[in-house]
Amino acid sequence: MARWFGNEVNLGQRSPELFDILVIGGGINGCGIARDAAGRDLKVMLVEQGDLAQGTSSASTKLIHGGLRYLEQFEFRLVREALQERERLLKLAPHNIWPLRFVLPHDRGVRPAWLVRLGLFLYDHLAARERLPACETLHLADHPFGRALQPKFRTGFAYSDCAVDDSRLVVLCAVDAKQRGAEIALGTRFVSARRSTDSWDVVLEDVRFGRAREVRARALVNAAGPWVAEVLGSRLGVTTSKKVRLIKGSHLVTRRLYEGEHAYILQNPDKRIVFTIPYQNDFTLIGTTDVAYDGEPHEVRISEDESRYLRESVALHLRSSIAPEDIVWTYSGVRPLFDDGSITASVVTRDYVFDLDAPDGAPPALSVFGGKITTFRRLSEHAMDALSRFFPGLKPAWTATAILPGGDMPKGDFDTFLSNLMARKPFLEASTAHRLARAYGTRVDAILGGALRKEDLGRDFGAGLSEAEIDHLIRAEWARTVEDIIWRRSKLGLHLPQAAVAEIARYLERTSPEGKAVADRA
């Protein structure tokens, strides 16, 4: 017997393993579809050549929101669906998603007040609200929300959406998919696939060791994000009239610009909006831009023009300005939007479109164009609807009420859960307890276990990151590199000095299953 990607294979037979669905891409859409399919008792494999959420899904503005500005583009169906999902996801992942109040300072030179009020009225009423407060008009001169704004803004509006740890949401979906029987194969490149009578014959490659593996799948799901067209054309040999349009979105993270846990939504003279959001306790997240992009998706970087645009937006609205030394991090992502023919990047639809290729009943290939993190669950459900005719007797939709891993706290009450955690583990610093509760929810005891003191968790590398947590991330969440740990499974890269990062790398070299091959070499 030999071991291929953790599975034993009989070398005498070498019969390719048969899956019902093979999903290409480890972003939010791929993991969401894999989870949904596995929960319907289908045999699922997900392949991702890098890490979970390594691309677009970790480069969002970290919001679960209806998309207030999409109302201006008459995207009523999309906004209604997003608002419904916002309320639903807040229940299903109360540790990973939390309410956030937004303040919109009114500039009558950009949009008239009546138009803003109409948009906010629709925002309140397009879908039912259970947990989030209604919109309100503010007199900023005598309101705490107005203190950080320039005095010229006398009137404003407040409404609620939700914040999310985007990359951890992807991990939660992958963990749930695995618990329901899916195989999650990271560091695995999708090489090619060829249709046979009743399945796809698929060639995969382990990108770390160059080992090949062949599998079969009754259906393929192409959720490769910015690479969706490449996979469809060059690796599947499928032609389509649908096109993907790559739009770059960039963000700045600065030292905290103002006090308070509220966000601002800033209206710029070009009618685009920029968010400023309290982030990771000590910082402010600013974004996003919308710029057409035609380069390699993995090489995306913020440009000086984008940085200037975001800094100028802040300077137009806040009392604080941003000096170069205030910027502690930048990140960019490429959104693979469905090309609806819009001339301006900022108004390209954020809705999703499927391309289903199954000529004459041949094994299907479903490709996903577009989408946004807020609607990933509904997109996944719709994807399974599109494939249901190929799986007679398929179990019904189930994810609308299924709590994501770690979210099963009584009444979804995060604050009470956090208080109980701190009472049970008094040796944890408050900031560490809060971070662990947000990241793992009720699964936190997989790390803390029977620890009675801080030393029971092993070495602390800084910011509360312990050996016990790193071991858990390797064992249960597929982390392999320093970057996986401090930028995607957490955002501790913002808090750790370089010396601590080097120590984590050395720890991985000594303890990870693959030794030096998985240590981050940056």
Read off the pLDDT of residues 402-422 as tens digits, 9 standing for 90 and up.
999 999 999 999 999 999 999
Domain 92-165+246-338 listed as CATH 3.40.50.850? no
Domain with CATH 1.10.8.870 in the chain: 410-518
Q: Is 310 exposed, middle or buried (0-12, 13-18, 19+ CB in 10 A)?
A: buried
pLDDT of residue 12: 44
DSSP label at residue 133:
P
Query: How large is the angle between the packed helices 76-92 and 376-387, nearest 10 degrees?
Result: 100
What radius of gyration, in Å, describes the C-alpha atoms of the chain? 23
What topology does CATH give the domain 2-55+168-243+350-401? FAD/NAD(P)-binding domain (3.50.50)
CA quadruple 447, 451, 455, 458: dihedral positive or negative?
negative
Give me the mean pLDDT over the 75-82 stretch.
91
pLDDT of residue 7: 39
pLDDT band of residue 514 (cuts 50, 70, 90) is low
Tokens of 60: 């969002």
SS3 36: helix
Q: Where are the alpha helices (DSSP H) in 269-388?
A: 304-317, 376-387
pLDDT of residue 109: 82
CA distance 279 to 420: 24
Amino acid at 410: P
Tokens 């030179």, residue located: 109
pLDDT band of residue 339 (cuts 50, 70, 90) is confident
Instruction: Report the DSSP pairing between strands 212-222 and 17-24.
Output: parallel
The CATH number of the structural domain formed by 410-518 is 1.10.8.870
Give me the mean pLDDT over the 18-31 stretch.
98
Pick the range with the lowest mean pLDDT from 27-31, 246-250, 342-346: 342-346
Please report, for residues 78, 128, 322, the alpha-carbon distance to residue 71 in angstroms, rounded to integers and kept in the order given: 9, 17, 31
Please report, for residues 179, 486, 501, the alpha-carbon distance to residue 464 in angstroms, rounded to integers and kept in the order given: 28, 12, 13
Whether the Cβ atoms of residue 383 and residue 354 lie closer than 8 Å to each other = yes
Whether the Cβ atoms of residue 31 and residue 170 lie closer than 8 Å to each other = yes
Domain with CATH 3.30.9.10 in the chain: 92-165+246-338
Mean pLDDT of the chain: 92
Whether the Cβ atoms of residue 119 and residue 71 lie closer than 8 Å to each other = yes
